[in-house]
Amino acid sequence: MKISEAYKWEAEKRDGTIITKGGNLQDCVRFSLLPQINLPKQDIIGIPMIRRFGRGFLRQNFQTTEMLPGFLHWQNGSNQIKTENDLTDIVTPGRLIKKRHDGEKWWLVIDVKPDLITILKPYDGKTKRIETRIYIVPPKPEYLHCVVCKGFRLYVKSSDGTVLITPENYELNL
């Protein structure tokens, strides 16, 4: 599911009419964000509303991998890799690492200590002290639903349902 569809919205006019399209909320007495996945439902009731809009954020990187500082000691048949630098701030369980060259396999990290990285499966390859790359997690998109009310704005993040309340004219960018 696209993140922009994690919530559907509807608004109720004074005469009971339900609208699901458009941006004008001036005649509305209720605005609801209806979760399509496991997110909290959000309702705005009893507050003068002005308009609504969605705000999308797409991202792209300029790199796919980063080189880790120092050298790592890859040893054939072992799932433990000695490090020459403390990489605990950079490498965490769940990240992928590989020897520096193109065509090398990625290995899943399951534990990190100041001088040792443990990977899920034993490394099978040439024993070598070599520079090592870490895979950069691709940046995720985000989508905000915004309701402009008299005196404030309410932004709701589609990724986790977080509600952010700002001044009426504040343009939130993530």
Stretch that binds another protein, among 17-25, 91-99, 110-118, 120-128 (CB under 8 A): 17-25
Comparison of 4 and 32: residue with beta carbon closer to another protein: 4
Q: Which of 17, 27, 41, 56 binds another protein (CB under 8 A)?
A: 56
Spatial CA neighbour of 76 closest among 135, 121, 108, 132: 121
Comparison of 90 and 108: residue with beta carbon closer to another protein: 90
Which residues, in sequence order, are CB contacts of 12 under 8 Å at separation 6+? 18, 19, 28, 29, 30, 31, 32
Query: What residues between 93 and 152 interact with another protein by CB under 8 A?
Result: 102, 133, 136, 138-141, 143
Comparison of 38 and 61: residue with beta carbon closer to another protein: 61
Task: Tell me the two tokens of residue 66.
Answer: 């980063």
CB 29 within 8 A of CB 45: yes
Q: How many residues are present in the chain?
A: 174
Binding mask 69-88 for another protein (x = CB under 8 A): --------------------
Radius of gyration of the chain (CA): 24
CB atoms < 10 A from the CB of 99, how many? 19
Q: State the residues that interact with another protein by CB under 8 A.
A: 2, 4-5, 21-23, 52-67, 102, 133, 136, 138-141, 143, 173-174
